[in-house]
Every structure is written in structure tokens, then in C-alpha cells.
Structure 1
Amino acid sequence: MEITAVEAIPVRVPLVPFEEGGIAPYVTNHNELTAMDRVLVRVDTNEGVSGWGEVRAFLSPAATVSVIEEGIAPIVEGHSPFETESLRRLLFIEYTNVDTFFAPVETACWDIVGKVLDRPVYELLGGHGAPEQTARRHREHVDETETSERCEVAYCLGILDPERSAERAVEVRDAGYSVLKTKAGRDWREDVERVVAMHEATNGELEFRLDPNQGWTLDQAVRVGAALEDEGVYLQYMEQPIRVDSHRALARLATRTRQPIGPNEDTYVAHNLRSLVEAGAVDVAVLDLTPAGGITGLRQVAAVADDAGVPTAHHCAFDLGVRTAAVLHAVTGIPGFALPPDTVYYGWERDVITDPFEVEAGTMRVPEGPGLGVDVDMGVVERYRTD
């Protein structure tokens, strides 16, 4: 079996407004989102089996499509999709790292492999015991008569005023979630006020993740941790509170706060996670299969954290159904993912797969079909296509 073609299809899908139960505008310390550009990637083979991957648009949808179709495709065409490990080793391009653009192609190869073998991807990853750490973590949410696995997920919310944040936190708790992640970083005092409001409104029944996207300085992060502790709020983790590659500063922060530190963007850089572990600067590793170069690369990075005894969670990049499926398979099939992956799946106007996921009691069902277990609805794709 050989790869014969790689096609990248850009789409822009709107987010549901907050007033209608959605999350738009989704506000961070650097932007506001009401829609998101994504790129779907289809890999075809000479035996008629195709697979799908998905990635966010970088720089622009056109730039992302160009790198994938004109840069990645010629390198992988003619190779077997079963070569998920060796393919990424072919991608040596001077002066740049193209793992991000290769990731959806690699995911599509896993989809093909699973379809050929008639097995779901999570079973092929060698760590089927991983659901003990994820899907079965809160069995009270799951019908024991179900044969499929369910994976607990964390609800994500942008920066809002304390009142609306508290209102949504109550809704999230009542919907069965146990973890809420909120953005931060524009004003650390307001960040504290917002988390405290949500904590009090939910009677301490939700855990929180706080993500300023590198938006704080070291002293501000120390103040946030202390202020929350004074209010009796202990975060599940503080995600990438200061800028990347400041490993010694992160280590100092870890000694000055009892709030767990969860590097995220830092883990996107090759070998950084090992450096963070050695510096004592990581309590939780927030990983992402896209900058890792796909599921194979994610498994390699997750092993570093697992060997160090550091629990892992998976980042969300406003994923539609294809990458959502890939994430669910990855955290189910790769050991070490002891914390729920982030998701904003409930925020989309519509998904591009034929059978969209449903979030029930804060969990999502891991697809049981072969490969990624999802099919793309080309009618919906054409509706949102932007090229």
C-alpha cells in the first residue's frame, strides 16, 4: 500500500454565541474568537483506502494548505501509511521544523492503518490500559452496560466578567463536568476575582485550570497563586503562566506557590519537556499531538512525562470532529494521560463529521469504529470551505 495523494481543505466554522449557550466571543489575553479556521487533510492510497487528519490554520489557511500540499505531500507520497514512525524522520528541512504541518498527515495515516486492520486507533497504540486513568476515572458518570469507552473532558471558557463566569460555571457543574479551564492574562487581579467567583458559585465542586497563555510575569504568577490559596482555591494546574524557555523561572515559581505548574507551549519545543523535568519546573505536562508531529510523536513525549512520574493532559486547539477523535484515541491508548483533555467541542455551530460527538455528563465516547471511527460529511465541508 502506498500514499498516492494528500489534499488539504480549509474551512471556517462559526462559534455559538455565549448568550445562546456557546462560548463566543472566546476571549484570551491576545485575541477574541467568533469563528475558527481549520484545515482538513485527506490522505489517499493506491488501494482505495483514505484517511483524515485535521490541524488549525497557521499564518493563514492558504499558507497552511501550501505547506502541506507542496511541502509535505511530495515527501510522503510513494511511502506506506504504515510507516508512521519513519515518515516523520524523513522530514528534515533546513532552518525549520514542520512537525506541526506533518501532524494531520500522520493522523490520517493512523486512520488508514486502523481501517485496513479493522481496529480503532486506540487499540493500536499499545496502551489500552490507559482508559483506567481517563474514561473510568469517574465511572459514576457512565452506564456500566455500555460497551464503548467514555473519556472525561474539561470544559474551556474564555475571559468573561466574574458574574457571567460564575453563571456558566454553575451550568458546567450541573451538566456533569468536574473540571473547568478558563483563560487569563489580561489583568491578574481580575483573573483571581473571576476564579474565586466561580469557585464560590459552585460551592467548591469544580476544579479549575487557569491559562494566561504566558501572560503573567513571575511576580504576578506568585501573587495569583497566593491570592487563590488565601481564598481556599487550589487549581488543578496553572497553565504556562510565564513565557516559554524560562525554565529556571518556572522552577522558582514552583517553589513559591502550592498551585501546580502545567507547562504547555513550552512542551511544543523539542526536548523542552525533558529540560523542564530536570529543572523541577513541571507538575503537569500539557501536551498536544500537533506540535509533536502527530500521534507517534505525542506517544514519545508522553513517555518522557510518564517516566518522570508527571501526569499529562491534552491541549485543545478548537478541534472539530476529526482531531477531537484523534485526541480521544490518543489519551485512551497512550499511558500517562491521567487528567481529562480540554475541549471546546460544545461551542461549534456545526461539525464536519457525519455523526457528531455528544458530550454527556462531562464525558465523550471514544469512537469504536476502525481507524479514527469518524466519517467526514463533504456537504458540510463545502458549506464552510474557504478556498
Structure 2
Amino acid sequence: MNIAKIEAIPFAIPYRKPLKFASGEVHTAEHVLVRVHTDDGLTGMAEAPPRPYTYGETQESIVAVIDKIFAPQILGLSPLEREVVHARLDRTVGNPTAKAALDMALWDILGQAAGVPVSGLLGGYTDRMRVSHMVGFAPAGQMVAEAERIRDVHGISTFKVKVGRRPYTNDVDACRALREALGPQVELYIDGNRGWTASESARALREMADLGLTFAEELCPADDVLGRRWLVRQSPVPFIADESATQAAEVTRELLGGSATAISIKTARTGFTASQRVLHQCEGLGVEMVMGNQIDGQIGTLCAVAFGGAHRSTARRAGELSNFLDMTDDLLTEPLSIEDGTLRIREGAGLGIDIDPDKLARYRQDA
């Protein structure tokens, strides 16, 4: 069984409303469907969601690097030769989501070939995960209304609140309004997407000290080395590294340098193979993890829940698995459903990705 063909198919699906946060905003999910075909008829799939303001990738660059650079280097290899695949992909710097999608598609093939779910191959800890929901920039009243709707409709009780606006007091007021409306039983944590300075972050955390925040994530820029260390030393809540820890070496730097005390794992940028390396590294250091989200669609969410539910360490916390709710449509034949605050892993061999051909034809950008 060898890799015979690779497709990188750009597609675009509008969001119900703009998603706004400190590093930018998005109006349309301009993603790439990656399909890896073998010579014996199996097809593995994954989704690559570009985030140009974070990783420098665009939809066009993902398609180009897969078609022109990656595919010629791995065609003919066996899906079992994952280390050879990664050795060849890593000759090219960057391009994390393109590499991740290829990796996850290969795992999908292996699960199908073995007749077992990928989550079982990865670890098989649980068949579902609790879900957290991202609340983006808006007036405080709108943020509260969205969180209440998501709680009432989907049973979600953990919310990741986007902060990083200036003045920072706008976000402090929004977080306070969310806590007052949702009550003490709901988990709240904040994500600044590098929007504040270290001193602004410290002031905001002091003013929110009574809100019982679970985590704070990437409040100030990753290259503010001394400022981040100063901030983390005084932070009253665990500090998650996300954009600053996109690979195992960066995880080492952030944790041992004192710039973070927890790590966000995103399968959209590290696939399954590199995500396991990060996870085992964190376990060895006694560091907490959360399953993050690249504003994935339903395909990417299937991948994230398969990995998160496979491991005890990532299944402890609610995973960021609900961003697809903000999309007007998706490509799956059978849409995902969040019920009682949880998302189940798909049963069956592989990742359980079944693409609706009519929807793909409607949304693809290369036809």
C-alpha cells in the first residue's frame, strides 16, 4: 500500500458573523481539503485552515506547497513510513497546517486499513470530550447573549473569552458581565492573541482576580521574552502558550524559560504525530494541556476530538471544538452535533470523514 495521489482542494464557506479577536478577524472559512489516495483504493482526509496573521500561510500557499513541493517528495511512500514523510516535509520550513493535514490524512488511511478508529490507534482513552466555546469581540451584552445561547442549546459550560482590546477595561468589563450572567459553575478563561503588553496584561489580571479564571492564554507577544516571564511569575492563573509553542522545541523554550505553565495542542498545526510528541513532553514535565482550535471546520474538529479523546491528559479539560457552529455550512455528509456539552468521536474505521460531493462541488474554489 503506497501513496499514489494527493489532492489539495481549496474551499470557502461563509461564517454566520465575523469572528473578531486581537490578531485579526475572519469572515469566511477559506480552508483546504487534503485527500491522500493509496494505490489500493483507500483515501485519507484532513483539513488545513490557514491563518496568515499567525503562521503566514494562505489558502493559495497551502495548495501550492502541497502540489509543487510536498506531493512529489512523498508519492510512492507507504503510509507507515511516517518518519520518512516528516523528514522530507521538514526540509521545507514553516507551512505547519499543510504538513499537519498530510500527517492526519495518513493516519486516517492507517485506521481504515486496520479497520479501527484513529482515536483507538492513538490511545483510545474515551469516546467523547467536553466542549468549550470561543466568545469573540463584541459589546459585552452581545457576548453574554451568545454564551447564554450556546449554554442553553448545546449544554456547554466552558467559555474561552477573546481579550486584547484597548483599552483593556473593555475586556475586563465583558468578562465580569459573563461571570455575573453565567454564574460560578461555568468555567471562563481568556485568550489575548498577543494583543496586550505585559503591563496591560498584569493590570487586567489584577482587576479580574475575583472572577475565578481557569487559564490565561497568549496575552502579550511571544517575542517579549522578559515581559512574558515577568508576567507569568505573577499570574494568579496558569498561563497557556499557544501561538508561541507551535512545535516541540518551542514548547521546551516556553516552559523551561518560564514564559508559560500550560500548553495548547492544535492538531491543525501539528497533526497527530507531532501533537503526540508535544503531549508526551508535557506529561513528562507535569504540565497541563488543552485542545485548542484553529477555527476549524467540522473535518478539523473531527481530527481534534479524535486526538483529544485518545489521551487521558487532553481529555481532562474541555476542548475547543465548537467553532464550526459559526459556519453557515460544512462538507460532511453527516454533520457533527454537540449535545449535553460533549462531542462524540466518530465510530468506524479511520477518522469517519465522509464528504458530501454536492457540497464540495458548491464550495470548492478551483472548479
Establish whether TM, by shorter chain, passes 0.5.
yes
Structure 1 residue 103, shift from structure 2 partner: 1.2
Confirm or deny that 1:128 pairs with 2:131: no
* 1:315 maps to 2:315: no
State yes or no: 1:101 paired with 2:98. yes
Q: Among 173, 178, 191, which residue is 2:171 paired with?
A: 191
Within 1, Cα distance between the matches of 2:42 and 2:355?
A: 14
CA–CA separation in structure 1 for the residues paired with 2:65 and 2:28: 23
Change (3 A) 1:249 1:304: farther
2:258 to 280, 288, 304: 280
> Secondary structure of the equivalent of 1:5?
strand
Task: Give the match's secondary structure for 2:129.
Answer: strand
Do the aligned partners of 1:169 and 1:201 also contact (CA within 8 Å) in 2?
A: no
Offset at 1:189?
A: 0.9
SS in structure 1 of the partner of residue 351 of structure 2? coil
Residue 373 of structure 1 and its aligned partner are, at CA, apart by 1.1
Q: What is the deviation of 1:247?
A: 4.3
Q: Following superposition, which runs of at least 4 residues in structure 1 exceed 4 angstroms of deviation? A: none
Deviation at 1:270, TM superposition (A): 4.6
Whether the 8 Å CA contact 2:136–2:161 is kept in 1: the answer is: yes
AA partner of residue 108 (structure 1) = A
Corresponding residue SS for 1:9: strand
Deviation readout 1:12-54 (Å, 9 max, x if unpaired):
11112xxxxxxx1211123332211010011011001111011
- 8 A contact 2:23–2:194 mirrored in 1: no
Distance 1:383 1:49 in 2: 24
Aligned length: 357
CA distance 1:55–1:237, shift in 2 (3 Å): same
1: CA distance, partners of 2:19 / 2:329 = 17
Counterpart for residue 115 of structure 2: 118
More deviation, 98-107/65-74? 98-107
Q: 2:273 matched to which residue of 1? A: 296
Q: How does 1:248-267 map to 2 (within 5 A)?
A: 248-267=226-245
Aligned to 1:372: 351
In the alignment, what sits opposite 2:84?
Answer: 86
In structure 1, distance between residues paired with 2:299 and 2:306: 11
Aligned to 2:144: 166
Partner of 2:14: 14
CA–CA distance in 2 between the matches of 1:45 and 1:119?
18
The 8 Å contact of residues 144 and 178 in structure 2, kept in 1 or not, is answered as yes
Aligned 8 A contact 2:248 2:274 in 1: no
CA contact under 8 A between 2:128 and 2:309: conserved in structure 1? no
- The aligned counterpart of 1:19 is none
Contact 2:247 / 2:278 at 8 angstroms: preserved in 1? no
Output the TM-score relative to the length of structure 2: 0.93
Q: CA RMSD in A?
A: 1.6
User: How far apart are the structure 2 equivalents of 1:31 and 1:91?
Assistant: 29
Separation in 1, partners of 2:43, 2:150: 37
Q: Which amino acid aligns with 2:183?
A: N
Partner residue of 2:197 out of 179, 196, 217: 217
| Matching residue's letter, 1:207 | E
Contact 1:189 1:224 in 2 (8 A): yes
1:290 Cα deviation after fit: 3.1
Which amino acid letter does the alignment assign opposite residue 282 of structure 1?
Answer: A
Deviation at 1:171, TM superposition (A): 2.3
Q: 2: CA distance between counterparts of 1:250 and 1:93?
A: 31
Query: Any idea what SS the aligned residue of 2:33 has?
Result: strand
Structure 2 gaps, min length 5: none
| 8 Å CA contact 1:169, 1:180 repeated in 2 | yes
Does the 8 A contact of 1:85 with 1:296 survive in 2?
no
Say whether the 8 Å CA contact 2:205–2:235 is kept in structure 1.
yes
**Rounded Cα–Cα distance in structure 2 between residues aligned with 1:171 and 1:320:** 20
- For residues 284-341 of structure 1, the C-alpha deviation after alignment (integer angstroms, 9 at most, x for no partner) is 211212332x200000011111111111112211212221111111111134213222
Rounded to whole Å, the distance in 2 between the matches of 1:374 and 1:269 is: 26
Shift in Å, 1:269: 4.5
CA distance in 1, matches of 2:244, 2:354: 33
Is the CA contact 1:9–1:39 (under 8 Å) kept in the aligned structure 2? yes
| Code of the aligned partner of 2:133 | Y
Which residue number in structure 1 is paired with residue 185 of structure 2? 205
Identity %: 27
